[in-house]
Structure 1
Amino acid sequence: MEFRVDRRSGVATYLQLVTQVKQALRLGVLEPGDRLPTAREVVEATAINPNTVLKAYRELEREGLVEPRPGAGTFVRRSLSRPEAAADSPLRLELAAWTARAREAGLDREDITALITATVDASFREDTT
């Protein structure tokens, strides 16, 4: 797993790490038993404070997603993945095709993300009414 930190996002760095781990768990990139990068590895790759990495890992541990093993590292305890989100699932393939059409139409990453987020938000608002 390789972390990306967007210092301009306005989102706390530790929360960015937590979100990325959760996304990897949902997509099946990380599975139970997998070891997360050490704090040192994350610091070297992202140039963030080691305490920030540890705070993110503690949050993931608090949520029951990972567990530290002294001397061995931090390991995934449970997955968040669903078969419907697997790389070869029909839903994901449809979304990939839609994303390709959106890019062909001239939308960039931020446009696509905003459109998807707005659509998902509207869909969940409709479910609660």
Structure 2
Amino acid sequence: MVEFRVDRASGLPAYLQLGRQVREALRLGWLQPGDRLPTVRDVVATSGVNANTVLKAYRELELAGLVEARQGSGTYVKSSLGSAAPEALDDLRAKFAAWVREARSAGLEDEDIDALVRAVLSGGSDDGAG
């Protein structure tokens, strides 16, 4: 089950953070079709956001076709994201974790690592030439 975290300093609205975390869990195979999302009450208790914020996040996910609300039963995953095999994801996660440890030992902080990853993902130069 997903354990939501809300970073109030991120500048991203809490409902979008919750939605992003569900999407990430779907992409990583941590949530599968049929899985039940935490109840609104549980999310409120663990994350400190109000119920309307959770409802908005769940409604956005429902509009995207990723979850479905079942009256009196909860909110369930309807669809998955991502297509990589779980074994491939596990292998890549381990390699990436090793890379992050190496980056930190080289003096990079999380924001530096984030900037580097975003640059690579956006097709930025990887040879330092610009």
For Structure 1 versus Structure 2, the TM-score category normalised by the shorter chain is: 0.7 to 0.9
Pairing 1:94-105 to 2, within 5 Å after superposition: 94-105=95-106
**Aligned-pair CA distance for 1:87:** 3.6
1:84–1:92 contact (8 Å) kept in structure 2:
no
**Aligned-pair CA distance for 1:12:** 0.8
Unaligned runs of 5+ in 1: 124-129
What is aligned with 2:127?
Answer: none
Unaligned runs of 5+ in 2: 125-130
Q: CA 1:10 to 1:18, structure 2 compared with 1: closer, same or farther past 3 Å?
A: same
Cα RMSD over matched residues? 1.6
The whole-number CA distance in structure 1 between the counterparts of 2:98 and 2:47 is 32
Pairing 1:39-78 to 2, within 5 Å after superposition: 39-78=40-79
**Aligned-pair CA distance for 1:53:** 0.3
SS state at 1:101 partner = helix
> How many residues are treated as equivalent by the alignment?
122
1:67–1:75 contact (8 Å) kept in structure 2:
yes
The whole-number CA distance in structure 2 between the counterparts of 1:93 and 1:48 is 32
**Aligned-pair CA distance for 1:46:** 1.1
**Aligned-pair CA distance for 1:84:** 5.4
The whole-number CA distance in structure 2 between the counterparts of 1:119 and 1:44 is 37
Q: Is 1:88–2:53 an aligned residue pair?
A: no
Identity, in percent, stands at 58
The whole-number CA distance in structure 2 between the counterparts of 1:14 and 1:114 is 24
The whole-number CA distance in structure 2 between the counterparts of 1:115 and 1:84 is 26
TM-score w.r.t. the length of structure 1 is: 0.86
